Structure formats: structure tokens, C-alpha cells
Copies of this chain bind each other. A is one copy, B any other.
Amino acid sequence: MSHNSFGHLFRVTTWGESHGPAIGCVVDGCPPGIRLEESYIQARLDQRRPGTSKFVTQRQEPDQVKILSGVFEDDRTDGPRTTGTPISLMIENVDQRSKDYSDIRDKYRPGHADYTYDAKYGFRDYRGGGRSSARETAMRVAAGAVAERVLEELYQDTVKIEAAMIGMGPHTIDPARADWSTVGDNPFWCPDPEAAQHWALRLEEARKDGNSLGALIEVRASGVPAGLGAPIYGKMDSDLAAAMMTINASKGVEIGAGFGASRLSGTENADGMKPDGNGGVMFDPQGPENTNGGILGGITSGQDIVVRLAIKPTSSILTPRKSVTRDGEETEVVTKGRHDPCVGIRGVPVARAMMALVLADHALRHRAQTGLLRPA
């Protein structure tokens, strides 16, 4: 029972504060023999790095990852490979500017965890939000890269995970216009290039107004075989909901038709099935497609897994907010520092990483408890 660990068989433990010397994670349970180069992890990290566009925090962090253990290379291994022992990953913090935060050490920032950390722990490392900073999510992206390598190896590159931002504040995209192959072409991970241009203007406005915007993220995994997951409390959708809800600023998660499903009738909702012509099964929706989001009874159906999460607007804004001090005095908070006007943007690679972590964990669990043993 560790609050800083995620997963069961593929298990990640993260550590580190925003303004400490470093952040890091330990990935335990990774199978042996998988190729793993620092450069592969680095490429993923570069996608959530701060300072890459004017729409994300201007903190300058190279976020250079080091592999400290669990990978071995000699003249027989054809590159570095996992050994089955814990993989320790570390990023040194470079641009810390602790002084930016000195004036809020005694104030509770509205919408932040300052007050609740104090309520729980009695005091806190307030520099940059300390442990509650979204900086921790860098390690999720790093660990998620390892998870993706496991999935590549286990399923011979057939599993594909994609994530996109499909809404920013009140602005949501028209699914009919979405082209997911374009998400990497704009700073919003938006699958509609025109919407992205519009969003750029809206977010620039919000930033200048000292304001921020919420976001809607969608993650999809295709090629996942039917039969992954588990009943009751080990459900694939329960694990995905938990995973997505651990992302900073996340306030909601839905699978498939999600909240929309609550407004449907039974004849509209469930996908029918038909023979796929090869002795197998394919789904045959009569109403909206894949309302179950690829999961039935907590177990994958072979359809795409579809998850959406709601990200609240950044609480760190330049507009002054009423608050109180640690001593219970009235005060006002203006968050200076270098913040994301829409944290959802950098949440996209994080959500993608969480999907990879959940799938890798279930893939290993599946190997343990199924597959070999069959009735007569």
C-alpha cells in the first residue's frame, strides 16, 4: 500500500519534489530482455517538456533522463536490454528559481493542494508546489515509455496508443472533422488543425487576461486483444479511471459513451455482434459506435479502448484571488511564476503514458492467470 506507486505486476514508484535536486522513478516488474535506450524514453519526455511553446510554462527544464539500473549491455545483447531487475530513472532539476515561491509559503493558493497538504501533514515543501507539482508527471511519461516497449514486445507492435486534446474550455472539436494523424502538428495535440488555430487565439487571450482554461482529453488504444482485464475490482475500466484521475487537475473520467450512455436507452446502447468470417466475432453497432469503449464486464472486447478525461483550468492565475494565510488571516493570492495557461496540453502525453502503464500491467497479469489452462 504505497501512495506513490502505481500498478501491480508492472509497478512504478515515483519520487521527488518540484524544487528538490531531482525527480525519479523505479519501474519494477518489467520483463527481461526488452530493448531500452535512454533516447527512446527521452523522445517521450520531450513531448511534455516545459518551454516548448508559448502555451506551456516557460520554466526551462531539459528534462534529461538517466537510466541508473535494470538495463545491461554487452557485446551479446545487441544494445541495452532490461534485465528483469528494477529500472531506476532520474531527471535532475535544473531551473528551480525557488525565490518565485517564497511569498506563498504562508498563503494557501485557491484550487491548489497547499491547504490540504498542510491539513494532512502539518507542514509542506511549498517550493513550486513541492510534491503536488505536475512536475511529478514527467516520471509517468518516462515509465510509460518503458510500458510501451513491453507492449511492443508482447504484442509485436500491434497495440497503438494515441492521445489528443479534443476540447479547450468551452471550445470542443467536431468529431467528424477530427484527423488524429495531425495531433503532433500543433502545440495543442488537437486533431482538428483549424480548431487548433482558433484555440491559439483563445488561449492567448486567456493568458493575457491572467486567466486559464480547462481541457478535454481523449486517449485511444487500438489492437488490444480481447480478454485483458479482470472482473469485479480489477476491472480494466476501473484501473483506467483510477489512473486518469491521478493526473493533476483531472476531475472526471469516462469510458466509451461515458456520461452520454446514462442518457441512452438499452436499444440504442449496446453494440451487437456478428461473425467476422474467420470463426471469430466482430462488433456490429446498431446505434452509436463502440458505446462500451472496448470494455465489457471489466475485460477488453477487442474493440478500441476509448477514455476521456476532464481537466480543470489551471488554478495558478495572475488574477488576484481571496485566500487565507497559514495563521488564518485574510489575504489575497496572485500566482506569479511561470505557469501553463492550459495544463491540459501537457496532460496529453501524461494521459497516454497512464494508458500504457495500465495496459502493460494487465498484459502481465493476463499472462499469469490465463491462457494455459482450458477445460476438456
B261 contacts A312, C-beta separation under 8 Å: yes
Please report the C-alpha to C-alpha distance between residue A279 and residue B22 in the assembled complex, in whole angstroms.
Answer: 36
**Could you give, for residues 312-339 of chain A, a 1 whenever the CB lies within 8 Å of some chain B CB and a 0 otherwise?**
1111110101111000111000000000
Q: Which of A74-102 contact B (CB under 8 A)?
A: 74, 76-78, 81, 83-88
A286 neighbours in B (Cβ, 8 Å): 321-322
Shortest beta-carbon distance from A190 to chain B in Å: 14
Q: Which chain B residue shows the least CB distance to A20?
A: B69
A273 contacts B242, C-beta separation under 8 Å: no
A262 contacts B312, C-beta separation under 8 Å: yes
Q: Which chain B residue shows the least CB distance to A315?
A: B270
B257 contacts A254, C-beta separation under 8 Å: no
**Could you give, for residues 12-31 of chain A, a 1 whenever the CB lies within 8 Å of some chain B CB and a 0 otherwise?**
01111100111110101101
B125 contacts A72, C-beta separation under 8 Å: yes
Shortest beta-carbon distance from A208 to chain B in Å: 13
Shortest beta-carbon distance from A3 to chain B in Å: 3
Question: Does A175 interact with chain B (Cβ within 8 Å)?
Answer: no
Given known contacts A23-B69, A274-B324, A375 and B252 CB-to-CB distance under 8 angstroms: no
A28 contacts B9, C-beta separation under 8 Å: no
A269 neighbours in B (Cβ, 8 Å): 111, 214, 312-313, 315
Which range contains the number of A residues in contact with the other chain? 35 or more
Please report the C-alpha to C-alpha distance between residue A38 and residue B239 in the assembled complex, in whole angstroms.
Answer: 33
Please report the C-alpha to C-alpha distance between residue A299 and residue B115 in the assembled complex, in whole angstroms.
Answer: 9
How many monomers of this chain does the complex have?
A: 4
Q: Which of A282-298 contact B (CB under 8 A)?
A: 284, 286, 291-293, 295-298
A364 contacts B374, C-beta separation under 8 Å: no
Question: Does A230 interact with chain B (Cβ within 8 Å)?
Answer: yes
A85 neighbours in B (Cβ, 8 Å): 4, 15, 17, 125, 130-131, 231
Given known contacts A28-B5, A258-B310, A33 and B77 CB-to-CB distance under 8 angstroms: no
A264 contacts B29, C-beta separation under 8 Å: no
A14 neighbours in B (Cβ, 8 Å): 86, 232
Which of B77, B216, B226 has a CB less than 8 Å from the CB of A262? B216
Question: Does A251 interact with chain B (Cβ within 8 Å)?
Answer: yes
Q: Which chain B residue shows the least CB distance to A327?
A: B279
Question: Does A368 interact with chain B (Cβ within 8 Å)?
Answer: yes
Give 14 new A-B contacts, CB below 8 A, not counting A9-B368, A112-B296, A252-B253: A1-B365, A17-B85, A26-B26, A31-B369, A33-B373, A83-B124, A116-B300, A120-B228, A120-B229, A170-B263, A241-B253, A251-B255, A253-B254, A272-B322
